[in-house]
Amino acid sequence: MRLIDIGVNLMSPAFTPDREEVIRSAFDAGVSPLIITGADAASSTRALDFVRERPGNPAAGRLYTTAGVHPHNAKNCNEKTIAALTALARDERVLAIGECGLDYNRDFSPRPVQREWFERQIELAAGLSLPLFLHERDAFEDFSRILERHRDGIRAMVVHCFTGGERELEKYLSLGAYIGITGWVCDERRGSHLIPLLKMIPGGRLLLETDAPFLLPRSLGAPEAQGNTRGRFRNGRNEPRFLPHIARFIAAHLGKDPEVLCRETYENTCCFFGRNFEG
């Protein structure tokens, strides 16, 4: 089984004690490459620095990043932010602009500010001909309206950690978006509405991600999920090595051979990023 985790928050402090071990065990589980999610200019820079510092390391060539600003952090953006993201994106290991988008669930940044910097990042991606790694929570109307307006300039986009309903899914598919599914789908309390929607996602549009250290799949057995048990990770820290569990869970609900699903999503990922990750 071979999978690419398109969304790992690998620079999160949750991984500071054992980041190398987390990477190694992901590779051992067949999860490679890992694509590290950037959440603001600083974290995007840290992620790329981390990847650059590894020549000769077995993980070289198996780690990539995105560069972008999460809507929570939009309030800290200025012109220097776009310049910094542009500079990062010159490195071929930066595969996409994001995560960017709108989050009206927590409103950590004022909504007009979120919209402004979301659009600026869409324009950046369009100018650089890079895919977009998108985040949307409780902001469907504004989010889809903005995407619609810029649609012609967008090379490719993935709505990462999709948690919406049928209407949202149909809209995103009609806009040509890929759909990123995380272990949210394994959560019987809040993710079961996603299970019937899986069948609506065309085989060529599905991408898989853990969003680690967040969203430990609740269907994982306790021994497998052991890890950090404190604070916000009291239910266990998620890791990229758990991606095969998510793939098997999805395959079971689609009535598909897990190997076939893995092969399909691997190819989708190469296609989405316009890269051949072989070798």
Residues 204-233 binding Zn ion (CB under 5 A) are none
Per-residue mark of binding to Zn ion, 83-102 (x: CB under 5 A): ----------------x---
Segment contacting Zn ion (CB under 5 A): 134-142, 149-157, 167-175, 215-223? 134-142
The smaller minimum CB distance to Zn ion, of residues 72 and 120, is found at 72
Under the binding rule (CB under 5 A), the answer on residue 135 touching Zn ion is yes
Q: Find out whether 195 and 169 touch, Cβ atoms under 8 Å.
A: no
Segment contacting Zn ion (CB under 5 A): 131-139, 179-187, 200-208, 241-249? 131-139
For residue 82, what are its two tokens? 């776009």
Residue nearest Zn ion by beta-carbon distance: 135
Non-local (6+) Cβ contacts of 191 within 8 A are 163, 184, 185
Under the binding rule (CB under 5 A), the answer on residue 171 touching Zn ion is no
Under the binding rule (CB under 5 A), the answer on residue 72 touching Zn ion is no
Strands (E), 39-171: 63-67, 94-103, 132-137, 157-159
Minimum distance, C-beta of residue 99 to Zn ion, in the bound complex (Å) = 5
Minimum distance, C-beta of residue 98 to Zn ion, in the bound complex (Å) = 9
Residue indicated by tokens 């079961």: 192
Phi/psi of residue 227, nearest 5 degrees: 175, -145
Minimum distance, C-beta of residue 161 to Zn ion, in the bound complex (Å) = 5
For residue 267, what are its two tokens? 């190819």
Q: Find out whether 181 and 249 touch, Cβ atoms under 8 Å.
A: no
What would the DSSP string read from start to end of 135-147? EEES-HHHHHHHH
The smaller minimum CB distance to Zn ion, of residues 135 and 205, is found at 135
* Contact positions vs Zn ion (CB under 5 A): 99, 135
